[in-house]
Homo-oligomer: A and B are copies of this chain.
């Protein structure tokens, strides 16, 4: 498993969203064991504490559960994961529209921009924060 994480952005949300997606899309199935905290930490190149925190957040959403000494497992009900993914998509889209509005684009302009995105995408750009 390749864990493409952007080290310049908070890792927890990235891992959380990635795992939510993997569970929601059936890559991990109910009651299947997830990689251990330590193993995933090594694979993803992050600290075990970060993975632990991510797992606990997913646990509090009912997406995964832990058995002490045994490991982390996918919850029986993957609706929680699918709901989480839908919410992520919605939130990010709402946020995107909001930011575009602030930049003076109305909904139709946004849609046109998105529709033609491929062309512009070819041009790489950089910007410091």
State the majority secondary structure of interface residues on A. Answer: helix
Interface string of A86-124 (1 = CB under 8 A from B): 011111111011011011110100110111011011000
A25 close to B (CB within 8 Å):
yes
* Alpha-carbon separation in the docked complex, A125 to B105 (Å): 20
Of listed A61, A110, A129, residue having the most chain B CB within 10 A = A129
Of the four ranges (under 10, 10 to 19, 20 to 34, 35 or more), the interface on chain A belongs to 35 or more
* Alpha-carbon separation in the docked complex, A110 to B121 (Å): 15
- Chain A: residues with CB nearer than 8 A to chain B? 4, 7, 10, 13, 17-18, 21, 24-25, 47, 60-61, 67-69, 85, 87-94, 96-97, 99-100, 102-105, 107, 110-111, 113-115, 117-118, 120-121, 125, 127, 129
